[in-house]
């Protein structure tokens, strides 16, 4: 069914004389490193020039609702489904492209803390001078989850006193500039920051995975190029890239 929908989109674009060119992609920050890595090969093989703009899920939701033009969106699966339902994304175009868990990083050269169990993770956070994570008010999925986790662990007040809240972007940069001694963020975004040390994922008992889905804008003028991008997101090369960037293959929709 999905392949039929994509074929229809491609055929429609061909008959409307759509030309390869710029393709604007709105993406959650966790998936941006994948698109950036794919961009040169797509430009060389299909003459598709990706124009990539990222933000938190909440920010992208507001931008799309306000009428910002785009061709493809890579969003949390929940948000993507909502936008398909409201007609912002083409009906039936959604495709799960990745899932990613939450991890921990520290400054380059700092001792790697023990986060192997829930209790050791908890004690590690309590021992830190400053803890960086996405501000939940920005709509970032990891930040929203972490606030709830800290409450369940009974350390919400302690963490609030030393929280370094990031409205969007790469939380790991707070380790580089010295604002934080530990960062908690989606693994792909931690790995993307140079001059830091990735420690590892949250313990399995408290891990939270986010699934990302890609969809084509209902009013995209580049439906053929958009469909080519969605197909490329499922290629073996992309699946290998996901693993290299700290992400995993998703369960198909």
| One domain for residues 94 and 215 | yes
Q: What is the predicted pLDDT for the residue at 253?
A: 82
Residues 151 and 216 in one domain: no
Domain hosting 12: range is: 2-99+210-244
- What pLDDT score does 10 carry? 44
Q: Is residue 132 part of a domain?
A: yes
Same structural domain for residues 93 and 47?
yes
Q: How many residues does the chain have?
A: 253
What does the alpha-carbon distance between residue 179 and residue 216 come to, in Å, rounded to a whole number?
38
> Are 17 and 95 members of one domain?
yes
Are 109 and 51 members of one domain? no
Residue 253: inside a domain: no
CATH of the domain at 15: 3.40.190.10
Number of compact structural domains in the chain: 2
Q: Nearest CA to 206 among 235, 184, 182, 232?
A: 184
92-132 pLDDT per residue, tens: 999 999 999 999 999 999 999 999 999 999 999 999 999 99
Q: CA–CA separation, 242 vs 213, rounded Å?
A: 14
Residue-level pLDDT at 20: 54
> Do 90 and 127 belong together in one domain?
no
Q: Provide the CA 226 distance to its chain's centre, in angstroms.
A: 19
The CA angle 128-129-132, to the nearest 5 degrees, is 80
Of 214, 211, 216, 198, the C-alpha closest to 247 is 211
DSSP count for the chain of H helices, then E strands: 11, 10
Q: In this predicted model, what pLDDT tens digit does every residue of 189-231 receive, in sequence order?
A: 999 999 999 999 999 999 999 999 999 999 999 999 999 999 9
Classify the C-alpha dihedral 29-58-205-158 as positive or negative. positive
pLDDT of residue 13: 42
Radius of gyration (C-alpha) of the chain in whole angstroms: 19
Same domain, 117 and 87: no
Determine if the pTM surpasses 0.85: no
């Amino acid at each position: 069914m999905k392949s039929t929908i994509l074929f229809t989109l491609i055929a429609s674009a061909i008959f409307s004389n759509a030309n390869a060119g710029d393709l604007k992609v709105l993406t959650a920050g966790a998936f941006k490193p994948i698109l950036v890595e794919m961009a040169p090969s797509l430009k060389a093989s299909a003459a598709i020039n990706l124009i990539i703009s990222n933000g938190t899920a909440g920010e992208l939701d507001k931008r799309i609702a306000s009428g910002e033009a785009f061709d493809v969106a890579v969003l949390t699966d929940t948000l993507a489904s909502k936008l398909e339902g409201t007609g912002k994304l083409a009906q039936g175009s959604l495709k799960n492209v990745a899932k990613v868990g939450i991890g921990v990083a520290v400054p380059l050269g700092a001792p790697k803390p023990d986060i192997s169990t829930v209790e050791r993770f908890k004690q590690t956070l309590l021992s830190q001078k400053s803890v960086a994570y996405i501000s939940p008010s920005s709509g970032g999925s990891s930040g929203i989850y972490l606030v709830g986790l800290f409450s369940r662990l009974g350390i919400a007040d302690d963490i609030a006193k030393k929280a370094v809240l990031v409205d969007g972007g790469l939380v790991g940069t707070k380790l580089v500039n010295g604002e934080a001694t530990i960062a908690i963020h989606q693994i792909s975004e931690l790995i993307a920051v140079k001059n830091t040390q990735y420690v590892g994922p949250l313990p399995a008992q408290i891990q939270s995975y986010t699934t990302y889905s890609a969809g084509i804008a209902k009013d995209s003028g580049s439906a053929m190029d958009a469909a080519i991008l969605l197909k490329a997101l499922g290629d073996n090369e992309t699946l290998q890239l996901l693993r290299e960037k700290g992400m995993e293959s998703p369960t198909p929709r």
